[in-house]
Amino acid sequence: MIPRVLTVAGSDSGGGAGIQADLKTMLALGVHGMSVITAVTAQNSLGVQGAWELPVEAVRAQYRSVVDDIGVQAVKTGMLASAELVEAVAELISGTDASAVVDPVGVSKHGDPLLAASALDSVRTKLLPAATVATPNLDEVAQLTGVRVESEDDLRRAAAAVLEYGPRWVLIKGGHLPGEAVDLLTDGRDEYRYRAPRHDNRHTHGTGCTLASAVASGLAKGQSVPEAVTAAKEYVTGAIAAGFALGAGIGPVDHGWRFRD
């Protein structure tokens, strides 16, 4: 049977990030993608013009419909908007026998809030402990742990601070560091560093969602966490290199780059 992956995240009407990025990534990586929508954003290349979260019962019902009938090998979480939704999703994934990739989304590419400040403690104490892999960027690391990463030397301290909350693995995304882009994956014992060339391309909307969904797709296919991250980095690096202009602002990464001639 085809590996099945579920994203629990927000909708990006512009099609570059959120649920739309997740499902495109899953298609490109050969798994069956499914979605639990937590919030709807009115969004384009210029930013987020509006956001509406769904009632917690609607999120629970979508999740049970999918997991109880179709089944999942991996779940990815993205925008969860409120403390109530974070806590409900944490409980749902804790009770599911599947790998969980938690992308602790705080703000959009344009700096629009996608998570209430009052939800941060629920992310720390309920959601992160349920994660097989957490994938914070440097802003999310600072928001969740207070650790500010200014150079590659700080990545290990950032990872240790996130691991304190209980995820099995953490992938600290150092893409915003000056110079070479380096990510650190560790479970507190083994450590892997992923280096990628920096592409001179501002069309990077959806990068974080794409990476987390690619990791979830690899885990659903039976890859180990380090293998899934290696494959995911290769996919997202190609997608960033092929990112294209759309609208008047920041365009999306190209989820279909491997399909182009």
When asked if residue 43 is in the footprint of ligand PXL (CB under 6 A), the reply is: yes
Which residue number has the CB closest to ligand PXL? 18
When asked if residue 41 is in the footprint of ligand PXL (CB under 6 A), the reply is: yes
For the record, the structure tokens of 98 come out as 């599947």
Classify strands 32-44 and 4-12 as parallel, antiparallel or unpaired: parallel
Active site residue 209: yes
207-220 and 18-28 helices, crossing angle to 10°: 40
Active site residue 132: no
* Cα dist from 255 to 22, 105, 234, whole Å: 9, 20, 12
For the record, the structure tokens of 14 come out as 């512009």
Which residue's CB is nearer to ligand PXL, number 158 or number 209? 209
Query: How many whole angstroms separate alpha carbon 160 and alpha carbon 167?
Result: 11
How far, in whole angstroms, is CA 241 from its chain's centroid?
19
User: Which one of the spans 6-14, 60-68, 92-100, 174-182 is the region binding ligand PXL (CB under 6 A)?
Assistant: 6-14
Active site residue 145: no
Q: What is the amino acid identity at position 198?
A: R
Active site residue 206: yes
For the record, the structure tokens of 50 come out as 């509006």
Active site residue 25: no
For the record, the structure tokens of 213 come out as 């969904």
Q: What is the amino acid identity at position 140?
A: E
Which residue's CB is nearer to ligand PXL, number 12 or number 87? 12
Which residue's CB is nearer to ligand PXL, number 17 or number 149? 17
| 135 in Cβ contact with 212 (< 8 Å) | yes
214, containing H or E segment: helix 207-220
Shortest gap between Cβ of 234 and ligand PXL (angstroms)? 20
When asked if residue 18 is in the footprint of ligand PXL (CB under 6 A), the reply is: yes
Site for ligand PXL in 183-222 (CB under 6 A): 208-209
User: Which one of the spans 12-20, 58-66, 171-179, 249-257 is the region binding ligand PXL (CB under 6 A)?
Assistant: 12-20
Q: Sort 81 into a burial class: Cβ within 10 Å, 0-12 / 13-18 / 19+.
A: buried
Q: 4, 5, 6, 10: which one contacts ligand PXL (CB under 6 A)?
A: 10
Cα three-residue angle 76-79-80, rounded to 5 degrees:
95
**Catalytic residue selected from 10, 208, 243, 251:** 208
Q: 3, 15, 78, 252: which one contacts ligand PXL (CB under 6 A)?
A: 78
Shortest gap between Cβ of 210 and ligand PXL (angstroms)? 9
Query: How many whole angstroms separate alpha carbon 218 and alpha carbon 101?
Result: 11
Interface size with ligand PXL, residues (CB under 6 A): 15
When asked if residue 33 is in the footprint of ligand PXL (CB under 6 A), the reply is: no
When asked if residue 17 is in the footprint of ligand PXL (CB under 6 A), the reply is: yes
Active site residue 208: yes
Active-site annotation, residues: 173, 204, 206-209
Footprint of ligand PXL (CB under 6 A) = 9-10, 12, 17-18, 41, 43, 78-79, 105, 108-109, 114, 208-209
